[in-house]
Amino acid sequence: MGSEEANAFDAKDAPKIAGELRESFASGKTRSYEWRTSQLKTILKILDNHEQDMILALRSDLSKPEMESYIQEIAMLKNSCKATLKSLKGWMVPEKAKTSMTTFPSSAEIVSEPLGVILIISAWNYPFYLSIDPVIGAIAAGNAVVLKPSEVSPASSALLAKLLKEYMDTSCVRVVEGAVAETAALLQQKWDKICYTGNGRVGRIVMEAAAKHLTPVLLELGGKSPVVVDSDVNLKVATRRIIAGKWGCNNGQACISPDYIITTKDFAPKLVDSLKEVLEKFYGKNPLESKDLSRIVNSNHFARLMKLLDEEKVSGKVVHGGERNETDLKIAPTILLDVPRDSLIMTEEIFGPLLPIITVEKVEESYDIINSGPKPLAAYLFTSNEKLKKQFVMTISAGGVVVNDTTIHLAVVTLPFGGVGESGMGAYHGKFSFEAFSHKKAVVYRSFVADAAVRYPPYTKGKLSLLKALVGGSILGIIRALFGWS
């Protein structure tokens, strides 16, 4: 739907849109390889033709630097689309499966079939990437799609609505703009899968709505992603990579940005000094004027972050930054040291440019701290200790783990991306997107020959002996049962 039409969307339109897409899916047009690839190539065309339009929309919504806009949204979408086009034919080929003696003679395969009509509800912080990447997966799997972009990034939402209407097959791919009322109306409809990116509160609402129709869900919900820093690291490299993952990703407004650091008491002063030095090098002495930092998305989120920063429990814990400009919705990169673990900044997901540091006597104490809270979407470890690396991977349950860097696993299309526990369920990206929006259908083929009487009544002791021998895999037992030998 175009932007003007989307503004007119109300509850009564939801059943109509869902019904029209279900008719299109039922016609079979989305199932063909040709339709899928034509739509994926169209997405590439959109990305090529409207790169600057997207960059301008992101600047309007988030003051996002052009470099971040290109690398973290446009380039990643191009890579995702190209990788899918390259591999799709192979993904669509049925997978051969072994059969057993009990079904002999037979053959079997696993067929990936599209689920049907998919609802995708995306987030505001990466409005193009988090909208289009799951659409790529849903189309690759042969589905029809309704996309609901976030109203919190209105310029990007309007551009998505305009471009997808202009370029895509609108009988099978629609965009609906709107806010809470429009999302609620969509959630009342029956879908074949719902993909939601956002917070846990809305994730629970999505799950509740999906349960009414027994609709499966893919939820990417974020969480407090920890960074554990050992003392044996290359401090300069570690610092740069932490800063890139925190403030170089939407100024901390990213689901996998580092949320807090755990390090030892002895190493903390060195780490803080290094963070200060590199932050000044990256963003200058007055970061509020830096063009390389995104602004806070709106006044509500700005006020939420100020509540975390100004809580009495964390008063005096700021060791760097803290400057803010409410008019421009800018907050400087801020570091806090030794904040209480029961403070708001340590119990709520930050989703902004504030970075608290917790200190411990030994780095291994970080395991209990992390595992005492909800499972994070991502967990990061910086160390040269091979034993510690293995312990961390085995001990910490998270959606994804990166050792000696932050956030880069998102760019690896051969890896699944998703949460665990309260940070989400299900995964996508690359082939995992294709599988997320497909049903793995088991198919067995048999001929009319060798129709064994043993499976049919009347049931005899001889037949039971033969079945037991078949189950047990005993060749001698099968011979004895066949010939009645004792």
Residues serving a catalytic function are 220, 255
Q: What is the Cα–Cα distance from 134 to 153, expressed in whole angstroms?
A: 18
Contacting residues for 352 by C-beta, under 8 A, at least 6 apart: 251, 252, 253, 296, 301, 305, 308, 331
Contacting residues for 386 by C-beta, under 8 A, at least 6 apart: none
Name the residue among 223, 312, 317, 239 with its Cα closest to residue 272.
Answer: 239
Residue with tokens 């992390």: 370
Residue with tokens 């970061």: 287
DSSP secondary structure string, 64-84? Answer: --HHHHIIIIIIHHHHHHHHH
Give the count of beta carbons closer than 10 Å to the beta carbon of residue 395. Answer: 14
Geometric angle at alpha carbon 396, from 394 and 398, rounded to 5°: 115
Q: What is the Cα–Cα distance from 427 to 197, expressed in whole angstroms?
A: 11
Q: Is the dihedral of CA 316, 321, 327, 329 positive or negative?
A: negative
How would you label 68-89 residue by residue, b for 16+ Cβ within 10 Å and e otherwise?
A: bbbebbbebbbebbebbbeebe
Beta strand pairing call for 217-220 and 424-425:
antiparallel
Establish whether the linkage from the previous residue to 457 is cis, with ω within 30° of 0: no
Contacting residues for 378 by C-beta, under 8 A, at least 6 apart: 225, 256, 398, 399, 400, 401, 402, 406, 407, 409
Token pair of 51 as six digits: 């790169």
